[in-house]
Structure 1
Amino acid sequence: MLAIKSWVNGRVVLAFVFGMFCLAFYSPLSSKAVNNIFYVGLALPMLVWVMVRPKALWEKMYPLSWFFALLALMVVLDAGDWADLKKVLYLSMFFFCLLYLSSRYWFLHGPLLLFSAGSVGILLFTSFDWLLLGVESGRWARYGYFLGEAINPVYFSLLVGFALLYLWMFYMVERLETRSRLLLLAGIFVLSLLQVINASVFQSRSTLLGYALFFVCFLFFKRMFWLGIGVTMALFALGVLVGIDDLLLQRGLSYRLDIWQAALQRLYAECSLWWGCGRDQGLLLGRFYHPHSGYVAMLYRNGLIGAVLLVVFAVLYLRNARREGRPWLLLSLFGWGSLFTTTSGVFTTPQPLWIYVWLPTFMAIIAGQRVVVHQYLLGRSQSARS
């Protein structure tokens, strides 16, 4: 009985730290402080948890060996020095943290619900503040400060966008769908409107790209594509009417096409097409340190070898998500869609993209391979009793 109580209490503490880790990306804490929350509060306890029962890991988790092998290969290929290799450990421990918490519904969804509620609150506050600033100044500038500190508006927008979609997928869709198709369509319209507001406040086109990929795939799985197109047209007409299209286009393409062209030209002319340019620290167009696209960055830094590994990972990921992992799979498409125009790479120390890319990706695999996960947890229990 004492062991069970200790196990539950440990999971409660881990769930609390996990919730604080997610919310910390909104805080004025330094990136080092946020990383330390993960290292000390999540990674270290999970490393001990995994290493205490190594036999269960080797015997029960082999169906997911493709995941750990590909993750390690891609991180090694992407690494700039020996210190970067630790990212394999960090991402693996994040995976096991989600596996551990997801074995009880509310230990995972409780912190995520808290994070999502906080995100909605942040959207409401920033939208109202942005509106007031716009009315006072007469210009609709990008919202770039929160709690008195400069922020990365794209990351803020993507975190908020992920939170909205999490609430939609796990708490809204089934309730609306069981009542009527009309209510579901109304819900889709409101969700889309909130995402447009979110993208407008932070002027993040990456948010709209991610949402577009999620939106199309969601409509496909729900077999309501044409109805969804009608919602899109209504939303587009509303956006044009109030001038949101001008707002989102006022920053142009932010040199994205020119940056990508420069990266691909350097890859072809100065680097290895197969192995890429690595972390050469060269400036693109004389001012940009990276290609501003997760996919172009993978090709630029790691060549065709890296691109092929990423494609293989995507194929196996989609195959292993299965039906049980579909909500998480759809949710992950938001993050993967946003990578078209943002980030220098996905293999990082803890960053906001861990929340909107890796969290739903890992959970899609965990939920899709529930039998494997159950066997692993059962094997750990049997090992503890023997």
Structure 2
Amino acid sequence: MLLKQHSRLDKKIVLQILCAFLWISLFIFVNGYFLDLTNKTINNFFYVGIGFLGLLTLFLFYREDKEVVFSLLLFLLPMLALSLMEWELSGYKIPIYLCLFLVGCFVFSKNKFFKSVYLASFLLAFCISVYIIFDWFLIWGETGKFIRYANWLGEYYHPGFFSMLLCFIFLMFFDQYFLNKIDKNKSILVFLAVFIFFAYVAFLGVIFQSRTALLGVLAYFIGFAIYKKTYLYFFVIFLIVCAALYFTEIGDLVANRGASHRTVIWKEVWFDYINNCNYFVGCAPMKNILGQFAHPHNIYLSILHNTGIIGAILFLLFFTPLIYMIFKYKPQWGLLVFYALPTILTESETLFAGNSELWVYFWLPILMCMVGLQRPIFEQYKLAKAKLLS
């Protein structure tokens, strides 16, 4: 009896140690971009901390869930196939990384201890946002110009990636700590507070003049209105936002941000697909668009161009049932998938890009949502199986 208790105590200590290292790895992975860490350093925390330790934790403590993990990997199969079709851009190791990340997300979902990562990330992001807003207003006061903020602690940072990651962390915190506590019967003051929160997050997108981040915030907010059936509140807020955009300089500021040439680039890529590519399997990625752009700046279009109709079908085979199940079961992280989908509209070259930011604001919510869906789906599966056997 004493030996059994001693063994259980040892296992508990080992689990706590593993969870501590996993906590640190997840925090660094989510916030490494803000901490000025190199991609190599962040990736090492991903490979060793999330990948290897996640797999080790799964085999040591959650072996009884191997059937669930296997079913999640099967669900991910279209994305694994798509990554292999895009191996020229993403590399042959990407399917392994995706599987390891999924296992890590499964381990994170099994222990509420990891929820504090989202709080710690929010506190860091909030401090960063306060500094940036203050600095932005200071520059505006001195120059009279609404600049596109692109510096952090004196160094240039990609404003698109920075704003999308920053907005994502704010919404992740809201999603984990407040979403389930709000319903349509709450007082108007609660929804006023929610509106102020969303306005603050959207303002961060305005400061960085990131239309993609703003689209993501809007998509999350629309999903929130559908989730909570607060259509009237949404309509009123939508009118307020439209009025603010119309009667202030914000609308013009975001709409006419610089010479991004996005639509011109997209037309060029589309014409190349129509005239030079195999419609079913696509063709080699475009590397020198209009003599100056390294990629199409639209992952949806890149998938069609580089992998053809087959790649587009694989993409739809994954995301169509995922979105359907999000609306059906309303899992945690579900609304963050709606934030993730617009964020691939204008920036990265591929879904499987090496930059860690994309893996945080795109793949983290999608994989965590998949893990969150496994419980209601398995319960339904067990009920159906019991009916067949009875």
Please name the residue that 2:33 is paired with: 25
Q: 1:191 is matched by which residue type in structure 2?
A: F
Residues 1:330 and 2:335 are matched in the alignment: yes
Q: Deviations over 1:257-277 (max 9, x none)?
A: 111110010011112111112
Residues 350 and 99 from structure 1, CA distance in 2 versus in 1: closer, same or farther, beyond 3 angstroms? farther
Q: For the Cα contact (< 8 Å) 2:83–2:95, is it kept in 1?
A: yes
Aligned counterparts of 1:246 and 1:201: Cα–Cα separation in 2: 13
Of 149, 152, 162, which aligns to 1:146?
152
Residues 373 and 102 from structure 1, CA distance in 2 versus in 1: closer, same or farther, beyond 3 angstroms? farther
Residues 320 and 89 from structure 1, CA distance in 2 versus in 1: closer, same or farther, beyond 3 angstroms? farther
Q: For the Cα contact (< 8 Å) 2:270–2:305, is it kept in 1?
A: yes
Of 209, 215, 223, which aligns to 1:209?
215
Please name the residue that 1:102 is paired with: 109
Residues 1:227 and 2:233 are matched in the alignment: yes
Please name the residue that 1:356 is paired with: 361
Of 109, 114, 121, which aligns to 1:115?
121
Q: For the Cα contact (< 8 Å) 1:298–1:345, is it kept in 2?
A: yes
Residues 373 and 342 from structure 1, CA distance in 2 versus in 1: closer, same or farther, beyond 3 angstroms? farther
Please name the residue that 1:380 is paired with: none
Q: For the Cα contact (< 8 Å) 2:332–2:372, is it kept in 1?
A: no
Aligned counterparts of 2:319 and 2:186: Cα–Cα separation in 1: 34
Aligned counterparts of 1:61 and 1:28: Cα–Cα separation in 2: 34
Q: Displacement, 1:112?
A: 1.5
Please name the residue that 2:199 is paired with: 193
Q: For the Cα contact (< 8 Å) 1:142–1:202, is it kept in 2?
A: yes
Please name the residue that 1:299 is paired with: 304
TM, length-normalised to structure 2: 0.87
Q: For the Cα contact (< 8 Å) 1:61–1:373, is it kept in 2?
A: no
Q: Displacement, 1:62?
A: 3.9
Q: Deviations over 1:125-178 (max 9, x none)?
A: 111111101211221211111122210111111111112212222323444548
Of 17, 24, 29, which aligns to 1:16?
24
Runs of 4+ in structure 1 off by over 6 angstroms are 51-55, 371-374
Q: For the Cα contact (< 8 Å) 2:202–2:217, is it kept in 1?
A: no
Structure 2, unmatched stretches of 5+, are 1-8, 380-390
Q: Displacement, 1:323?
A: 5.5
Q: 1:145 is matched by which residue type in structure 2?
A: N
Matches within 5 A, 1:237-256: 237-251=243-257, 254-256=260-262
Q: Which stretch shifts more, 267-276 or 183-192?
A: 183-192
TM, length-normalised to structure 1: 0.88
Structure 1, unmatched stretches of 5+, are 375-386
Of 99, 124, 127, which aligns to 1:92?
99
Q: Displacement, 1:296?
A: 0.9
Please name the residue that 1:267 is paired with: 273
Q: For the Cα contact (< 8 Å) 2:283–2:307, is it kept in 1?
A: yes
Q: For the Cα contact (< 8 Å) 2:281–2:306, is it kept in 1?
A: yes
Please name the residue that 2:80 is paired with: 72
Q: For the Cα contact (< 8 Å) 2:279–2:309, is it kept in 1?
A: yes
* Aligned residues between the structures: 371
Q: For the Cα contact (< 8 Å) 2:184–2:230, is it kept in 1?
A: no
Percent of aligned positions that are identical: 25
Q: For the Cα contact (< 8 Å) 1:158–1:207, is it kept in 2?
A: yes
Q: Displacement, 1:371?
A: 6.6
Q: For the Cα contact (< 8 Å) 1:321–1:367, is it kept in 2?
A: no
Matches within 5 A, 1:315-326: 315-321=320-326, 326=331
Please name the residue that 2:316 is paired with: 311
Residues 316 and 322 from structure 1, CA distance in 2 versus in 1: closer, same or farther, beyond 3 angstroms? same
Q: Displacement, 1:306?
A: 0.6
Residues 244 and 133 from structure 1, CA distance in 2 versus in 1: closer, same or farther, beyond 3 angstroms? same
Q: Displacement, 1:185?
A: 2.6
Aligned counterparts of 1:178 and 1:105: Cα–Cα separation in 2: 27
